Amino acid sequence: MSSDIFKLISKRRTVKPANFTEEEIPEAVLKEILESANWAPNHGRTEPWRFTVFSGKGRIKFQDLIEKIYNENPDVYPPEKLKKWQSNALLAPVIIAVGMKRTEACKIPLIEELCAVSAATQNILLTAEAHGVCSYWGSSISHLPGTAEALGLDGKDDCIIGFIHLGYAKDEVHDGVRKSSIDEKITWITE
Ligand SMILES: Cc1cc2nc3c(=O)[nH]c(=O)nc-3n(C[C@H](O)[C@H](O)[C@H](O)COP(=O)(O)O)c2cc1C
């Protein structure tokens, strides 16, 4: 007997923007998706997650950002990648740039701040799923020099962890695949 949350977690799949319809995501749904991020666990109440949300014509600004950072970092990725990322930007009704802002003089280890932002991101994916909204976590230019600063994150260690593309799926979503079962990833110590 599976719990509702387990069913939701295991049903969520990455759906690429090429498989999104043009249907807009209602504002109330998007707000709840973002609000869910704010309830992620975090050490020391730092709440280090920050979001920039691109939609409508704002997506052209996202395309411009990708192009600017790509051009500032030549020879890292081939030009086909730039084209793909820019096309993804217009195929998704909403793109959320997920960032980590480290508190000044933060005593919490960097890895824990990143863990908190990852937890917030999973909340986004799952709340989207609960509303029938599909998601695609794309890295593209996230980790290139200049990206975090361009999105207003200019502190030491601040970073962008990825771009969450949201939209409704055109077709039925495929079943998930995992290379090995959870049993192979657990060590039980019982006595
Ligand atoms: C940190 C992170 C970065 C990712 N970056 C990319 C990416 O750049 N391109 C991509 O196609 N998928 C990316 N993904 C999505 C994975 O490909 C996807 O989660 C994986 O294939 C498992 O499929 P599922 O999400 O349907 O379970 C990323 C996922 C994570 C957690």
Contact 168 CB / ligand 1 (< 6 Å): no
Which pLDDT band holds residue 103 (cuts at 50, 70, 90)?
A: confident
Is residue 13 a known part of a binding site? yes
Give the domain ranges of the chain.
13-171
For residue 92, pLDDT over 80 is answered with yes
| Percent of the chain whose pLDDT exceeds 90 | 95
Give pLDDT, residue 106: 79
Q: Closest Cα to atom 28, ligand 1: which residue?
A: 137
For residue 104, pLDDT over 80 is answered with no
Average pLDDT, the chain: 97
Give pLDDT, residue 97: 98
- Cβ-contact 101, 153 below 8 angstroms: yes
For residue 189, pLDDT over 80 is answered with yes
For residue 181, pLDDT over 80 is answered with yes
Which pLDDT band holds residue 27 (cuts at 50, 70, 90)?
A: very high
What CATH code would you report for 13-171? 3.40.109.10
Contact 176 CB / ligand 1 (< 6 Å): yes
Give pLDDT, residue 59: 98
Q: How far apart are CA 90 and CA 103, in angstroms?
A: 33
Query: Concatenated DSSP letters for 34-103?
Result: HHHHTTS--GGG---EEEEEEETTHHHHHHHHHHHHHHHSTTSS-HHHHHHHHHHHHHSSEEEEEEE-PP
Is residue 138 a known part of a binding site? yes
CA of 16 to the centre of ligand 1 (A): 10
Between 154 and 56, the more confident residue is 56
From 110-114, 130-134, 155-159, 183-187, the region with the lowest mean pLDDT: 155-159
